[in-house]
Amino acid sequence: MASGSTRDVPSSVASFLPSRCRGRTTMKMFSAISLAAIAAVSAASPAASTTIDFTGFSTGATASPIVYPEATFTSSTRRFFVGAAGLATEICPYTVGGDCSASMSVLFSAAVDGLTFETSGYDGASNLFVSGTGAGGAFAISFNNGGGFDTLFIDLTAFSGITSLSLSTDDPAGVAYDAFTFQASGAVPEPASWALMIAGAGVAGGALRRRRSVKTSISFA
């Protein structure tokens, strides 16, 4: 037989091929699957953030609690005031004395990550006291407005899996709250991302089927 020629080898013969050959084929198959999975995950969009800014409420007093699908806001006085600090849609826990010095709580429908919100209406040097429950258990932290800043951005992104918050202040007239922004804790890929991963698996499966349909050949020197 001419050197370098090939011919089809029956499966009974192919079974005696060196295990390293079969191992290479298996590795190629797994590589194809891995690459397809990595491509799908890499293309996945990050989970979208939710912002609750109380749009739609008219300026003035409104009943507590304020309920959204993602979170429930409750005033210790059972009343909120919308627009108290000059921003169009912020809320404050409203007292019978006509100020915003009461406390409020936030209960999330599901654990959240990346939580931030805005506060406003400070009079002089004041503190905001924040306590809550997260993936690591209970936590408490305070923020100071620096003695003259009317607004203060609150960043709780260091805490994950937050399920509840309690908010209070030592400001004489109290403060207002706005723009609670967060995303679901440990968010799973969005539907489009699932579609990409399924498509990637389909490509890998097709590659495996095509591989199986090829006859095994061996070269003879």
Task: Return d(Cα 192, Cα 183) in angstroms, integer.
Answer: 18
Question: Domain holding 69: CATH number?
Answer: 2.60.120
The pLDDT assigned to 219 comes to: 46
214, pLDDT greater than 50: no
The pLDDT assigned to 22 comes to: 47
Q: What is the mean pLDDT of residues 140-148?
A: 86
User: What's the token pair of residue 46?
Assistant: 């990050």
The pLDDT assigned to 145 comes to: 84
In a domain, 45, yes or no: no
HEC profile of the chain: CCCCEEEECCHHHHCCCCHHHHHHHHHHHHHHHHHHHHHHHHHCCCCCCEEECCCCCCCEEEECCEECCCEEEEECCCEEEECCCCCCCCEEECCCCCCECCCEEEEEEEEEEEEEEEEECCCCCCEEEEEEEECCEEEEEEEECCCCCCEEEEECCCCCCEEEEEEEECCCCECEEEEEEEEECCCCCCHHHHHHHHHHHHHHHHHHHHHHHCCCEEEEC
pLDDT single digits (tens) 83-123: 876 666 899 999 988 899 999 999 999 999 999 999 988 88
In a domain, 44, yes or no: no
Residue 201, φ and ψ in degrees, nearest 5: -65, -35
User: What's the token pair of residue 213?
Assistant: 């349909």
What Å distances lie between residue 159 and 3, 37, 108, 126, 186, CA to CA? 70, 30, 14, 23, 13
In a domain, 61, yes or no: yes
User: What's the token pair of residue 36?
Assistant: 């397809």
AA identity, residue 71: A
Domain count, the chain: 1
Q: Determine contact, residues 138/63, Cβ cutoff 8 Å.
A: no
The pLDDT assigned to 21 comes to: 44
In a domain, 88, yes or no: yes
In a domain, 4, yes or no: no
Provide the β-strand partners of residue 51: 181
The pLDDT assigned to 210 comes to: 52
In a domain, 86, yes or no: yes
pLDDT single digits (tens) 5-53: 444 444 444 444 454 444 554 445 545 544 454 444 444 456 799 999 9
Whole domain around residue 60: which residue ranges?
A: 50-184
71, pLDDT greater than 70: yes
Range among 9-18, 181-190, 206-215 rated most confident: 181-190
Q: Nearest-5° angle of CA 23, CA 28, CA 29?
A: 100
The pLDDT assigned to 104 comes to: 97
Tell me the average pLDDT of the chain.
76
The pLDDT assigned to 205 comes to: 52
User: What's the token pair of residue 40?
Assistant: 């799908």
Task: Return d(Cα 35, Cα 105) in angstroms, integer.
Answer: 46
**pLDDT band at residue 162, thresholds of 50, 70 and 90?**
very high
In a domain, 105, yes or no: yes
66, pLDDT greater than 50: yes
In a domain, 68, yes or no: yes
67, pLDDT greater than 70: yes
Q: Interhelix angle for 191-213 vs 19-43, to 10°?
A: 160
